[in-house]
Amino acid sequence: MQTMMKFAAAAALLFAVSAHAGPVNINTADAQTLSEELKGVGPAKAAAIVEDREANGAFVKPEDITRVGGIGEAIYEQNKANIKVKD
């Protein structure tokens, strides 16, 4: 019984960690949201995304995220289904 409870708790935790709000708008999301929602994007890269859009304007298409230093094709490919540029 105790093993089943541990399994249920682990499954619930895994679901909570893997669940996300859905596609994130890289033109409006704050750095914390970006780092939570995008794979391979921690606080420093998320801050760089915000700084880039403030300096260079909005991203026109999702793949424009690769113009940010430290965000390459691999990170874009991991996240392309979870990136949007319009609401």
Rounded to 5 degrees, φ, ψ at 16 are -65, -40
* Structural domains of the chain, with CATH: 22-84 (1.10.150.320)
Higher pLDDT, 18 or 58: 58
Instruction: Render pLDDT for 26-53 as a digit per residue (tens, 0 to 9).
Output: 999 999 999 999 999 999 999 999 999 9
C-alpha distance from residue 31 to each of 28, 43, 50, 71, 82 (Å): 10, 7, 6, 14, 15
The predicted pLDDT at position 55 comes to 98
Span 54-70, average pLDDT: 98
The pLDDT of residue 8: 55
Q: What is the pLDDT of residue 17?
A: 45
Q: Decide: helix, strand or coil at residue 32.
A: helix
- Terminal C-alpha separation, the chain: 47
- Percent of the chain exceeding pLDDT 90 equals 74
Q: Residue 16 has what pLDDT?
A: 44
What mean pLDDT is predicted for residues 51-64?
A: 98
